[in-house]
Structure formats: structure tokens, C-alpha cells
């Protein structure tokens, strides 16, 4: 297959997608978040992007879908097909250490445990999350649910600052 | 009933549970006892709506009638809804809302855990995802129940009352029909009696921690998975479906 737009290669598509920010955490891109699972070229200038939804009710998902289409169309794609893959389910285990560091610098504590260790009963009272501002471990949870589906509210007893914790998922 | 029909019906059952409970929790929006709790209930509601949407979407791929997730949510009447009776019950006070949540979330947790081993790849993925969210819902609601049970005389009284009131709807979650028979034989779903045993173990642990008495099984009511509901579902759907019924096809 001859690529009519020499600039749009598989690598270039990934690069473009990596510039689309997560609307809730703009320092992180949707590829860093692990939403984009696969990219392939169909017939002609059609591109097929496979994504895995993060949180079920996350309103940001519809924003991603539009953004992916817009960005690729602007760069020469004639058609963009979005495929949704539900299995394996998205997990915060896919976040790289550099992505976690970006979150910290943005004032959000990244998920600290492996998702398989998520316990549902009688948990959390002993868990300590490090404050993204001062790294202190004397913090406590103020609410399991926060401003977006992915975040919980925590408070640092050392620097007296509230902060958000990206939930382990 | 063939496998596809059974799977379609089963997806509706799962999705209907989620959308109906989500709708109930959304009724608390701006009325929560504290701001954090208002956020928590609407967050859980959002999770449930999201889970319902992907299950409805999957259901539409199993039939050839051009229906969409929105059709399934907004254009079926109560006799065509297959949710369990528990989730449609009115919110009552905060103790009743949390009790309903804990009873349902414990059930959903064990069901989704089982479905993570389903032979149906999509259902398996949807269950794995919903399980992650359900664990948070179970943790949140169980923490409240334990706190209430160990709180004041009043909080204890209300929580025990909530359990006694809702108990008669719990057997309904484990009723099996020809849908389950077909899916169990194909390795797509699992025996709900096994789920019930695990559910009972989990909630007994929570209620022991909360010093609550397990109620007597009296006045048991069943019928949700056959589309036979208590009077409350019709009223809930009236409100939820109003816009699409009054202005068919409206979008924004």
C-alpha cells in the first residue's frame, strides 16, 4: 500500500496521539494514560485506532474520541475508525514511572499499589499515600470520591494541603 | 432460547440493575448529608451509568434491530426491565440507601468476579472493569454500615431497620431461569446459588463488624428477572424516560 501522505506513518500517528491531553489531567496524554492500545492503517488514508475505556462513566472518553478523529483528519487521514476493546480492562498498572512523576509535579498523588492488591473490605485505614507537595507520609483520606471518577480526596497533615490521589484501578 | 437471546437478556439484566440503581443514587444529587457524600453518591451513580451504557451497547450488537443503548434505556417499559427488585426500592434515609448499596455491591462483586472467567470475551472484559469500580462501592458502603452500627442508638436502630426492610428483596438477585440455564451450559455465566453463598459470607462479615442482626426471611418477594416489579420501578422510569418519551429522538 502506497501512503499518499508520506508524513502520516504509524509512528507519526502515535506521536500525534501523544499530544492529545487528558482533559482532567492536562499534563498527561491519552497514550501515557494507556487508553490507546493499537494503531493500524486501513485502505488508503484510513486509520484504525483501538482504544480501551478508562473509568466506565468517565465523561472525558467522549472528548478523547472527538480529539483523536480531529487530530488525525487534520494531518491527512481521510477517515478515522475508532475501535473499542474491553478486554483486557484498563488498569492504572499501565502507567509508567515517568507518567506517575508528571502527576506528582501536577499535584496529584499517583496510584501507589498494584491493582491486584485492591481490597474492598476493612481496608485503607492503614494505607499511607505520600503527599505530592512535600512527600510526607502523614496524610489521611477525606473522601474516597473526588472531582472526577479517577480521583480521591486526601489531606496532608504535614504541609496542611489538600491534594488529589489518582485511584488505583 | 438460543445462546444469543440468552446473552442479550442477561446483558439487559446487568445493565438494568446498574441504570436503575444509578438513577436512585442520582436522586441524592445536591441532597447529600455532607458535600463529600454528595460527591460519593453521584460518583457511584456515574460509574453505574457508564457500566450500564457499555452493557447496553454490547446487547445491541447481539440483535439485528438497529436499536441503540439509548433505545434500551429510555424506550422500554417496566415489564421489559429485568433488574432486581432491590435496586428499584426508594432511597429512604441515608442508612437505607447505604444498606441497599452494600447488599447490591456485595452481590455485584461476586457476580463480576465469576464473570471474569466467562467464555464470552466481551462480557469478561466488561465484568473485569465493573469489578474494579464495584470494589470501591462495596468498600464505601460497608464502611458507613459499620460506622452506623457502632455509632449512636439512633444510627444503630435506623441501620437495623434498613436491613430488615430490604432483606425480603435479596433472594430475588439469585433467581435463575432459562437464560441462566443456557448461559451456564455454555460457560458464559455461572450458577447463582454459588454466588449467593459467597455473597452471604461477605455480608455476614460486614454485619458482624457492625453488630447487626441477620433478619428472618419473611415476606420474600421475587420476580425482577421476569420483568415483574414492585410499584416503584414504574415511577422511577417515568422520571428517567420523560424527555425521550415527550420529545422522541431529542439529542444535545
pLDDT one digit per residue (tens) for chain B, 252 residues: 899 999 999 999 999 999 999 999 999 999 999 999 999 999 999 999 999 999 999 999 999 888 999 999 999 999 999 999 999 999 999 999 999 999 999 999 999 999 999 999 999 999 999 999 999 999 999 999 999 999 999 999 999 999 999 999 999 999 999 999 999 999 999 999 999 999 999 999 999 999 999 999 888 999 999 999 999 999 999 999 999 999 998 887
Contacts of B50 in chain A (CB under 8 A): 55-58, 149
Domain contains B251: no
Is any Cβ of chain A less than 8 angstroms from the Cβ of B209? yes
Domain contains B27: yes
Domain contains B234: yes
The edge-to-edge listing of strands for the beta sheet with A36-41 is A36-41, A46-51, A79-84
Contacts of A146 in chain B (CB under 8 A): 39, 43
Q: Which long-range contacts (CB under 8 A, 24 or more apart) does A110-117 make?
A: A110/A166, A111/A165, A111/A166, A111/A167, A111/A168, A111/A169, A112/A168, A113/A168, A114/A168, A115/A91, A115/A168, A115/A169, A115/B132, A117/A168
Superfamily in which the A10-84 domain is placed by CATH: Fe-S cluster assembly (FSCA) (3.30.300.130)
Cross-strand pairs, B203: none
What integer pLDDT is reported at residue A19 of this predicted model?
Answer: 94
Grid cell at residue A137: 507520609
Residue A117 has pLDDT above 80, yes or no: no
A123 pLDDT band, cuts 50/70/90, is low
> B132 and A87 in contact by Cβ < 8 A?
no
Is any Cβ of chain A less than 8 angstroms from the Cβ of B198? no
Smallest CA-to-CA distance from A67 within A41, A43, A35 is with: A35
Angle, to 10 degrees, between the axis of helix A10-17 and the axis of helix A60-74? Answer: 140
What integer pLDDT is reported at residue A94 of this predicted model?
Answer: 92
| Greater model confidence, A161 or A150 | A161
| Greater model confidence, A38 or B251 | A38
Contacts of A119 in chain B (CB under 8 A): 135, 139
Gyration radius (Cα) of chain A, Å? 18
Domain contains B119: yes
What are the extents of the domains in chain A?
10-84, 93-166
Domain contains B150: yes
Is any Cβ of chain B less than 8 angstroms from the Cβ of A85? yes
Is any Cβ of chain A less than 8 angstroms from the Cβ of B113? no
> A118 and B135 in contact by Cβ < 8 A?
yes
Domain contains B130: yes
Smallest CA-to-CA distance from A100 within A143, A132, A138 is with: A132
Domain contains B57: yes
Domain that holds residue B23: 3-246
A5 pLDDT band, cuts 50/70/90, is low
What integer pLDDT is reported at residue A116 of this predicted model?
Answer: 74
What would the DSSP string read from start to end of B102-143?
Answer: HHHHHHHHHHHHHHTT-SSHHHHHHHHHHHHHHHHHHHHHHH
What integer pLDDT is reported at residue A91 of this predicted model?
Answer: 92
> B36 and A145 in contact by Cβ < 8 A?
yes
Please give the tally of structural domains in chain B. Answer: 1
Domain contains B10: yes
Q: What is the pTM of this model?
A: 0.92
In B, minimum Cα distance to A87 occurs at B125
> B109 and A120 in contact by Cβ < 8 A?
yes
A46 pLDDT band, cuts 50/70/90, is very high
In A, minimum Cα distance to B143 occurs at A122
What integer pLDDT is reported at residue A126 of this predicted model?
Answer: 63
Task: Give B71→chain A minimum CA distance, Å.
Answer: 18
Task: Give A146→chain B minimum CA distance, Å.
Answer: 7
Q: How far is CA A138 from the centre of its chain?
A: 27
- CB-CB contact of B223 with B85 (8 Å): yes
- CB-CB contact of A156 with A138 (8 Å): yes
Is any Cβ of chain A less than 8 angstroms from the Cβ of B67? no
Residue A111 has pLDDT above 60, yes or no: yes
Is any Cβ of chain A less than 8 angstroms from the Cβ of B47? yes
* Helices first, then strands: H and E counts in chain B: 10, 0
Grid cell at residue B90: 426508594
Q: Which residues 112-141 of A have a C-beta within 8 angstroms of B?
A: 115, 118-124
Per-residue pLDDT of A135-149, as tens digits, reads 999 999 988 888 888
Contacts of B48 in chain A (CB under 8 A): 56-57
CATH, residue B61: 1.20.1260.10
Amino acid at each position: 500500500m502506497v501512503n499518499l501522505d508520506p508524513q502520516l506513518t504509524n509512528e507519526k500517528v502515535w506521536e500525534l496521539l501523544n499530544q492529545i491531553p487528558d482533559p482532567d489531567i492536562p499534563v498527561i496524554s491519552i497514550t501515557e494514560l494507556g487508553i490507546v492500545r493499537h494503531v493500524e492503517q486501513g485502505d488508503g488514508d484510513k486509520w484504525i485506532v483501538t482504544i480501551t475505556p478508562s473509568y466506565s462513566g468517565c465523561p472525558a472518553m467522549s472528548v478523547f474520541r472527538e480529539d483523536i478523529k480531529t487530530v488525525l483528519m487534520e494531518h491527512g487521514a481521510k477517515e478515522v475508525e475508532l475501535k473499542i476493546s474491553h478486554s483486557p480492562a484498563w488498569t492504572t498498572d499501565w502507567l509508567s514511572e515517568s507518567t506517575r512523576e508528571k502527576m506528582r509535579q501536577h499535584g496529584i498523588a499517583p496510584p501507589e499499589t498494584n491493582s491486584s492488591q485492591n481490597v474492598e473490605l476493612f481496608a485503607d485505614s492503614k494505607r499511607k499515600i505520600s503527599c505530592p507537595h512535600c512527600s510526607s507520609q502523614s496524610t489521611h483520606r477525606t473522601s474516597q470520591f473526588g472531582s472526577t471518577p479517577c480521583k480521591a480526596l486526601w489531606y496532608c497533615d504535614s504541609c496542611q494541603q489538600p491534594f488529589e490521589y489518582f485511584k488505583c484501578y | 432460547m438460543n445462546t444469543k437471546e440468552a446473552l442479550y437478556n442477561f446483558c439487559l439484566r446487568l445493565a438494568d440493575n446498574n441504570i436503575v440503581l444509578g438513577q436512585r443514587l442520582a436522586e441524592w444529587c445536591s441532597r447529600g448529608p455532607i458535600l463529600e457524600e454528595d460527591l460519593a453518591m453521584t460518583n457511584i451513580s456515574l460509574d453505574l451509568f457508564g457500566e450500564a451504557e457499555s452493557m447496553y451497547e454490547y446487547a445491541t450488537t447481539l440483535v439485528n434491530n438497529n436499536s441503540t443503548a439509548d433505545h434500551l434505556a429510555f424506550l422500554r417499559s417496566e415489564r421489559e426491565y429485568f433488574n432486581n427488585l432491590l435496586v428499584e426500592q426508594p432511597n429512604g434515609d441515608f442508612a437505607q440507601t447505604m444498606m441497599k448499596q452494600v447488599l447490591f455491591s456485595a452481590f455485584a462483586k461476586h457476580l463480576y468476579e465469576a464473570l471474569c472467567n466467562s467464555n464470552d470475551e466481551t462480557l469478561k472484559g466488561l465484568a473485569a472493569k465493573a469489578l474494579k469500580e464495584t470494589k470501591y462501592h462495596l468498600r464505601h458502603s460497608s464502611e458507613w454500615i459499620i460506622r452506623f452500627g457502632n455509632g449512636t442508638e439512633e444510627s444503630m436502630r435506623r441501620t437495623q431497620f434498613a436491613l430488615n426492610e430490604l432483606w425480603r428483596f435479596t433472594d430475588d438477585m439469585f433467581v435463575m431461569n432459562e437464560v441462566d440455564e443456557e448461559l451456564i451450559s455454555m460457560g458464559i455465566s455461572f450458577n447463582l446459588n454459588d454466588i449467593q453463598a459467597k455473597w452471604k459470607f461477605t455480608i455476614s462479615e460486614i454485619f458482624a463488624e457492625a453488630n447487626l442482626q441477620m433478619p428472618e426471611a419473611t415476606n420474600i418477594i421475587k420476580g425482577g428477572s421476569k420483568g415483574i416489579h414492585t410499584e416503584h420501578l414504574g415511577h422511577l422510569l417515568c422520571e428517567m424516560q420523560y424527555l425521550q418519551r415527550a420529545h422522541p429522538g431529542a439529542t444535545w
